[in-house]
Structure formats: structure tokens, C-alpha cells
A and B are shown apart, each in its own frame.
Chain A
Amino acid sequence: MASLTAPGPADTAGSGAAPIRRIRHRHGGTRTWLEIVVFVPPALILFIGFVIVPVVLAAVYSFFNLPAAFRWDMLGSERFIGVDNYTRAFSTPEFRKAIANTFFILFASLLVQGPLAIGIALLLNRRIRGRGVLRLLIFVPYVLAEVIAGLTWKLLLQPNGGVNAVIEGLGLGFLRQNWLADPSIALYTIFFILTWKYIGFAILLMLAGLQGVPKELAEAASIDGASWWQTQRFVTLPLLAPTIRIWAFLSIIGSLQVFDMVWVTVAPTLRQMSTETMATYMVQQGQFAGQPGYGSAIAVILFVISLVIALAYQRLALRRDLAGSVTRGVR
């Protein structure tokens, strides 16, 4: 807010005779309106044009049977098929598998990456030699573009690639796998790469959260005779909970959207066999199988699932953390 003493030109012009402007923004007429008129439309136009309209259009398309060479005037009655695209989606084993794969990634991320990130963050939060370097190294994968990381791992995980060479070199030849070409393990391989890529971000968030935990509490606990483990369990973790909840939210959203890593890393056939996610299935069917209507239905299903999960999570888990910011509007 502008300072209370220096009179602004717009102000004097706007509220005219009002001598005290402490509560200007409550009934400050012209200036407030000017701000609204100038600042809101650009954001609103972008948001409507690039978010709302596409969502609505996808919903419309999803009720039509559209060919690959799609034209606007095809949205006529003879191509209207009601909810057929939706019933088809849910009765297709491939799509059910894609949902299952997506939720596997979602829950595995929460259950594996969360504890791992908290553990590593607790370790890195202590005084150890080379802490800065360690923190940097852990964060590097997150900085890489997902496509580059995916292609790098794709090369390393070839049958004659680096990973198998290392395994062989360690004398563990029996553990050799065709990591990305074996339908029974490809999804786990993808999950490993995703963990490698995103654990750094989780650790960084947890470290930031740990900075907010007052040292006095840990000191008090240790004076009371608590061990290091007890201090973490009963003092640090509860105070880290808001950070964990926010990280979990970001992780859930990211998991529902997994696309690039699967698309660039896994060969199309293998993707169809074992690693299809909701997003890759949507692009495959909508774009490459030439069925924009069906693809739109998948997009709407993905949207609804994400929306329900996000809203439910905000309501149930993030309620306290977001109180006063998102859930109740501005104040």
C-alpha cells in the first residue's frame, strides 16, 4: 500500500476532498475502479482464453464422434453420440490400466518419496562435512528438463547400456534387466526415474520447512532427556507437517499429469503394454489414433479426477494451512 503521508496525484484526483485516506481502499472509488479496469482484463482474457474456453470446448468435443481431419462444422447432430465416448473409455481395459498406472505413481510417490525426502532432509539439516555440495547434487536432477533426463536414462537403461554395465561390473550379472523393454518392470523403472528427478525438490521443500522449526524446542526436548530420534518424531515432524502437506499436494498434482517421462523414455509398444498413464493415453488416442472426440472425453475424465482430488485435498488436508488465504478469500 502507498504510504500514509505522501499524497498521490491519482488519489487527490480520485477521492477529492477525503482528508484521511487510511481506509482509502474500502471506499476509494475511482482509483480502485481504475486499478480493476487496468489490471484485471489482461489476466482475465488470458485465463478465459487459454483455460476456460479449452476446457469447455473439450467437454463439447467429448460428446461427438470426430475424425482425425476435424472441422468445426462437424459438430452437427449426425456426429453427436452422447456419452458413448465415456462409456467406451471406462469399458476399455487399456484406459483402466492407464488409471491404475497413474494412481500407482501417485501413491508410490507419496509413500516412497515422502519418507525418503524427510529422512534425507533431516540428515542434511545437521552439521556434516560437504553439506552444501550434497544439497546441490541432490537438487541437480530437478533442474534438468524432463525430456533430457528421460532420454539420458533411456540410453543408460538400454540392454547394453550403462546401468547394466555397472551391475555386471559389480559382479551382479544375474540382476541384469532389460529395464525399459520388459513389460513386467518398465513401470517400476519409470517410477525410479521420476523419484530420482523429483526427490531433490521434495528435499529442498523439507529443508526449507526445517528452517522454520525453532531450535529452542529441540534444545528443550534434549534437556528433558529426549533422544535424537524422539526429538525428530515428537518435535520436528509435527512442526514440519504443513510443509509435508503442501509437498504431498504438489506431488499428487504432478503424478496425475505424468506425461513427458513416459512418452520419451518408453517405446510406444511398451507404453501400450505396461506404462500408459492417463495423460499419455489421452494424447495417443486423441492425436495419434485420430479420435479427437474420444481423446477429449479422456481429457475431461482426467480433468474431473484432478479437480475432485485437488478440491478434496484442499478441503480436508490443507484447510488449516491455507486458512485466510485461499479458502476464505482475502480476509
Chain B
Amino acid sequence: MMNRRSIQRVVAGVAAAGLTLGALAACGGESADTASPGTGETGEGTETAAAEEVTITWWHNATSGPLPAVWEKVAKDFEANNPGVTVEQTGYQNEDLQRTLIPNALASGDGPDLFQVWPGGEIRDQVANGYLMALDDAIPDTIAAVGATVNPWQVDGATYGIPFTFGIEGFWYNKDLFEQAGITTPPSTLAELNDAVTKLKAINVAPIAVGAGEKWPAAHWWYQFALHSCSPETLTTGAADFDFTDPCWVDAGTELVDFIASEPFQDGFLGTPAQTGAGSSAGMLANGQAAMELMGHWNAGVVGGLTPDEEVPEFLGWFPFPAIEGSAGDPNAALGGGDGFGCAADAPKQCADLLAYIMSEEVQKEFAASGSGIPTVAAAQDSLEDQNLKAVAEGLSQASFVQLWLDTEYGTTVGNAMNEGIVNVFADNGTPEDIVKRMQDAAATL
């Protein structure tokens, strides 16, 4: 007869063993291919794909604003037009998706089929690891429709991702506050920008809000100074060979140090978040505490989401980053980036079809009309209704040279080292030379 304690032990032992077995089973439980042979094929069977039961998992970064509804509709319509195909689409917060979810899912070999693909260093790593499907043979027309914008998503001549939106960075500003401060035209040179800062201080608003609590919004300032200090050739060699020996890279930091010294930013900017909450830099612009913010093409939606009525405010305007007088930089160069999708190497072939549908003129027009961003298919750009997006699209079309966000271009390792160096300068804790040295040191570890 077992006494109580030994019964407890046996129960605990069985539970522990069950737990272990469960864990092991979960590890080894690679389920069989979800695509089962079609059972109900009828008619001529011209389209065998139609009868196949396929599930496409789709991860994107649309979590707020009008975009989630657009993607939901795309998934439903695609399912309706392709019987047997189920599309499971999920939106995740952008940084979680980029830094944690997708890398981990790909490394585990159990990733989504269609997912956000970031150009530059990241797509190069993913292609080197064989994670992505080359799309050139599957959907050539779709790729052609996007034109040169697809270049950052190409590796060694093959296309591994297609951008559905692309835009450039510039100043989002409060027209009312500019008027109050007596600024009649948006600044087109750095001297005019400094002048505007002085005038805005006089009416007691923060001239420029920067979300330097997160590193990238601060880092973008240095990117802009580098873009307008270095010639396009220098920028291209920098990206290709990680060659940062040209003195213009240090000049960019020196210009940034001088600019920060004029105190254009809000108080306590080192702790300010960029895009979330009323206290963020976008929030300060939304509620009139700050007059300008340097931010990407998506910012109108973010600012709109932070106003009391959740509408994009009337006073919001946009102008491109001003030129720097007497520098080697191209005054019409712009810094930008976009969002694109790619298919996993082992995704069902319908994944490319879904991507082609997302990039179709019809969906691109819906995307543009929803105000989510600037579409990449030229024919869809007429559907832009939002004045600010139209301004950004015009800035993009006038740019003589478009440089991808530098941290994206250089990849995680160099990009992160660069951003760390830049925020040190913002905190008065590092030098312009230190930024370049960090980039070179990080590149040496690759």
C-alpha cells in the first residue's frame, strides 16, 4: 500500500515525464506539409492550383491607421479569387517584427510565407542564408511596374522583395506656428533653417521636436548632414565597401554638433520617444508644442493619430531637408525608405501570386486612397488624396539621388554602431570622429 507521500511522488514523476515528452514532441513535431492533394477536382482541371488546399501566412507591420483594413480586404479578395487558398494575415509592431519575430522565425525554419522584407543589409543576409524566394521568373510584370524603386530589394541582380510604398524624409511642420513666428517660406538652406529656429524660440515653442529617446530619430539627423555633405559617389562607396575615410563623414558630425549647440530641440530630448504618446516628438507636433519634426513619409498618419480628434491636423505641412551651402553634397539628394514584401524560399507558389495581387494597380490605388502611404506603382499615384503625401511624392519625384536610410543600408551591425555613436554626440558624450570610428570598427567585425 502506498502512503500519501509516495502517491504524490508518483504523480509528480508522471507529470514531469509528461512535460518532458510534451516538450520533446513539440520540438520534433514538424507537421506534414499542409498542402494536401486536391480531392474535389471538377471540370477540365485547367487550374490545378484552384483545388489545392493551401494556407499562406502573411506577416506585415500594419497595426494602426487605415492600413490594417486594406490588407484584410486584400486577403479576403485573394481568397475569394483563388478557391482553396487561405490567407492568414497578422500585423505586428514594426520593430518587434523586424528585430525579433522574423529573424527568429526564419532561423527556426518555421517562418511565415509572405512577410515584410527590409532592404539593404538585412535582405543581403537573408538571401545569403537562402531564406528568400527569387521573384524574377514568377512575377516579372509586377517587378517591372515598380521601376527603379525595386533596386534596394535586389541582390546580385535578382529580386527578392517588392516595395509597396516608398517615400522620403523631410520636415513636418506647423504652418500656424510658422506664420505666428513670421516665417513666410519654408527654409531651403541650413542658414534659413537656423533663422527659423531663432524666430520660433521667440514665440516660446520648441522649434524642433526630436524623439532622441529612441536612437534612430536622432540618428536621422546625422544621416541628413552626411547626405548633404558627401557627394553621391562617396555615399555609394560607403555603402558598397564600408569605406568612410572621406572627411565629409566627419564633417557631417561637426555640422550636427554645431546644430545641436544652437539648442533647436525640446528640453529633455534624450528621453523623448518618437511616435507613441502625447509626450513623443510626433505628439508635440500634433498638439502644437513643437513647430517641426524631421521624420519619414509615414508621419502624417502618426501625427493624426495623436490629435484629440484623431484627424490629420489642418496646420500640418511638409518641406524637404534644406541644402547645406558650400558642401559637396547634392542639394536635391533625399533620404528615404520603403516597405516591401518578399516570399520565403519554401513558400507555396501562390505566395508570389498574392504578392503580385498586392502590387496590382487596383490594390495600389486602394492603398494610396486610404492615405496609408505613397504607392510605388506609378499609375496608382494619381489616387493620392492626402495633401501631405502628395507633397512627399512630389519631393521624391524631384530628388536627384535617393539614399536609403543609412542604418538600413549598412545592415544591423554597422547601422547599430553608427546610431550608438550618433546618440553619444546628441548627449554631448562623443565626437564626430568617434561616430566614424565606431562604423569602421563594426564593419571590421563583419
Q: Which A residues form the contact surface with B (CB < 8 A)?
A: 2-3, 6, 8-9, 38-39, 41-43, 45-46, 49, 65, 67-71, 94, 158-160, 178, 180-183, 266-270, 272-273, 287-291, 294
Contact = CB atoms under 8 A, between A and B. Distances in A.
Nearest to B131: A69
Nearest to A155: B277
Contacts of A9: 1
Nearest to A94: B420
A288 B416 CA distance: 8
10 contacts: A39-B13, A69-B106, A158-B279, A178-B267, A178-B271, A266-B271, A268-B215, A272-B215, A290-B412, A290-B416
A16 B419 CA distance: 74
B202 interface: no
Interface stretch (B16-24, B153-161, B256-264, B310-318): B16-24
A273 B426 CA distance: 10
A71 B129 CA distance: 8
Nearest to A72: B107
Interface string B204-226: 00000000111100100000000
Contacts of A6: 1, 3
B328 to A, nearest CB: 30
9 shortest A-B CB distances, which residue pairs?
A181-B271, A267-B213, A290-B412, A69-B125, A42-B16, A289-B416, A178-B268, A68-B412, A181-B268
Given A288-B416, A289-B412, A290-B413, A268 B16 contact: no
A71 to B, nearest CB: 6
B417 interface: yes
Interface residues of B, number: 48
B123 to A, nearest CB: 10
Given A39-B9, A69-B126, A182 B268 contact: yes
B213 A270 contact: yes
B11 to A, nearest CB: 12
A68 B118 CA distance: 14
B99 A273 contact: no
A268 B420 CA distance: 10
Interface in B425-442: 426-427, 429
Contacts of A268: 213-215
A273 B446 contact: no
Interface string B261-292: 00000011011110000010000000000000
B432 to A, nearest CB: 18
B34 interface: no
A270 B416 contact: no
A159 B416 contact: no
Given A2-B6, A289-B412, A68 B272 contact: no
